Amino acid sequence: MSLLQGLLKLICGDAQASSVGSPPPPPKTAPPPAQTPILDQIKGIAAAGGDPRAIVGKQMLFVRSQIRDNPAAFFAELRDHSPILNIGPFWLVSRFRDVEEILHRETVFGVPYLPNMTGVIGPFILSQDITPQYDHDISAMRLAIRRDDLPRIQQIVSSHANRIVAQLAATGEPFDIVQNLTRVVPLRVASEYFGFEAPDADMMRWARAGFEEFFVNLDKVQGVRDAAVTAGAEMHASLTAQMAARRAAGDQRDDVFGRLLAQQCAGDKLGFDDEGVMRTLMGCLIGMDETTNQACNYALLGMFHRPELLAAAQAAAKASDDAALAAIVFETLRFRPINPLVIRQVKQDYRLGAGEPHATVIPKGGIVFNLTASAMLDERVVEKPTEFNPRRPASHYLHFGTGHHTCFGAYISQIQIPQILKPLLARDGLRIAAPPEFAGEIKAFPEKVVVAVAPEAKIDPPP
């Protein structure tokens, strides 16, 4: 050992000393290129050349097909390799913190739904940016739709769901839950709590037509628009007649309709005018019926694909552990949310993800596809996101969005969805009995889900 090596060993230890006079380590080889087959296909569409607008159109069609048919792999590539992906005027945002940042920047990222609502129901709160009008409308709604009404809502949902499931199961035959349960119970809430009364078939048609135009019709299909305009006119006529009848009869029922009319005594600064009352009731119906139908069936179908989830949900339902059942339902929906994204329009240039390597300036006028479904699978925030864990913190769920535009009816849905499923899950032998069917322009709406349950044991009368 040389004198130099001896001194280094004394000062630095064996590892440093032994390196003196040793041959240099071999040069590091470059890591293999990242495997991004989906993103490569998006780039390949552009590389093929052609009209720039046509290229963007083809890329976005491909993106939408991936979101629909291959979301987990697509979202993983985006989060890891292109967390803020630009395609023409569109921006796909996939990481949790970026998605959350956008939803909390309401003055920068505006809601784009007003053109779709115009001519159907008008400027319902879902279409309004944070303005004095929004503050007025949301405050008036909160006075009429109250959190302390939740026990009343739960009783309405539970009583009708239990009765319907008992009747369907009593036939001994497989039965469809969409047209008989998951689209019907929300209508009972609309009638008994909100006070919006109309034939079930009409209300189902109105709700679906409005929802599809407002939130699904990205391709501006004229037939979808026409159906929504017709539905809006019919809802308006129905509510006009109901309003006149209530006033003529001096009807002061304590439902949302009645509360909205009572608020008018304090003037427009507190409550709505007649158009505002009708707009609010129409918006609540559209926002509640189809989303509840989707959530119930997406959750149940998710459970059928993972028997351990179904077993856990059935155990909770049979034990009447409502908190555990709700946690299982919404954790199941994390893997198959009813809406994979929230669209926002950029109102001013904004640097998203500031301080991060992927920080990007999104320009004014851009359209953001805020991928909430991807965010809920982001391992940077959500611990072990591919594992089922119903004990996750509520802050890791984006089913109802976040920020000022958090879904207004979130606390109602958190009760209504699991309570509709509860009597069904409590049945022995629950199974899917036929392939599910979906409706709508892009087949987004559950239309027929046939299930079967074990027949109830018959008890012979005593001799």
The full DSSP string for 55-115 is HHHHHHHHHHHHHHH-HHHHHHHHHHH-SEEEETTEEEE-SHHHHHHHHT-TTTEE---HH
The answer on pLDDT for 16 being more than 60 is no
263 contacts 272 by C-beta, under 8 angstroms: yes
Q: How many CA atoms lie within 13 A of 89 on its CB side?
A: 11
Mean per-residue pLDDT for 244-262? 95
Q: Which two tokens stand for residue 297?
A: 């069936």
pLDDT band at 70 (very low <50, low <70, confident <90, very high): very high
Name the H helices within 105-149. 114-117, 132-144
- Burial (CB < 10 A; 0-12, 13-18, 19+), residue 172, is exposed
Q: Which residue type is seen at 93?
A: V
Tell me what pLDDT residue 23 has. Answer: 54
Tell me what pLDDT residue 463 has. Answer: 54
Integer Cα distance of 116 and 124 in angstroms: 11
pLDDT band at 27 (very low <50, low <70, confident <90, very high): low
Tell me what pLDDT residue 219 has. Answer: 86
Residue 357: DSSP 8-state: T
Tell me what pLDDT residue 426 has. Answer: 97
Tell me what pLDDT residue 423 has. Answer: 98
Through-space distance between the first and last CA atoms of the chain, rounded to whole angstroms: 103
Mean per-residue pLDDT for 200-206? 97
Q: Which two tokens stand for residue 242?
A: 């109901």
Tell me what pLDDT residue 459 has. Answer: 45
Strand ranges (E), 294-415: 342-346, 350-352, 360-362, 367-370
Q: What is the mean pLDDT of the chain?
A: 90
Q: How far is CA 16 from CA 3, 8, 21, 28, 193, in A?
A: 14, 7, 11, 20, 77
Q: Which two tokens stand for residue 329?
A: 């339902």
Q: Which two tokens stand for residue 166?
A: 């008992």
Higher pLDDT, 421 or 126: 421
- Burial (CB < 10 A; 0-12, 13-18, 19+), residue 121, is buried
pLDDT band at 15 (very low <50, low <70, confident <90, very high): very low
Integer Cα distance of 378 and 326 in angstroms: 22
Q: Give counts: helices (H), strands (E), the chain.
A: 18, 12
The answer on pLDDT for 175 being more than 80 is yes
Domain 70-452 top-level CATH class: mainly alpha
pLDDT band at 113 (very low <50, low <70, confident <90, very high): confident
pLDDT band at 203 (very low <50, low <70, confident <90, very high): very high
The proportion of the chain whose per-residue pLDDT surpasses 90, expressed as a percent, equals 78
Mean per-residue pLDDT for 126-151? 90
Mean per-residue pLDDT for 135-142? 91
The answer on pLDDT for 267 being more than 80 is no
Mean per-residue pLDDT for 187-193? 97
pLDDT digits 0-9 by tens, 313-361: 999 999 999 999 999 999 999 999 999 999 999 999 999 999 999 999 9
Neighbouring-strand partners of residue 439: 445
Tell me what pLDDT residue 30 has. Answer: 58
Tell me what pLDDT residue 133 has. Answer: 87
Tell me what pLDDT residue 266 has. Answer: 81
Tell me what pLDDT residue 363 has. Answer: 97
Mean per-residue pLDDT for 109-131? 88
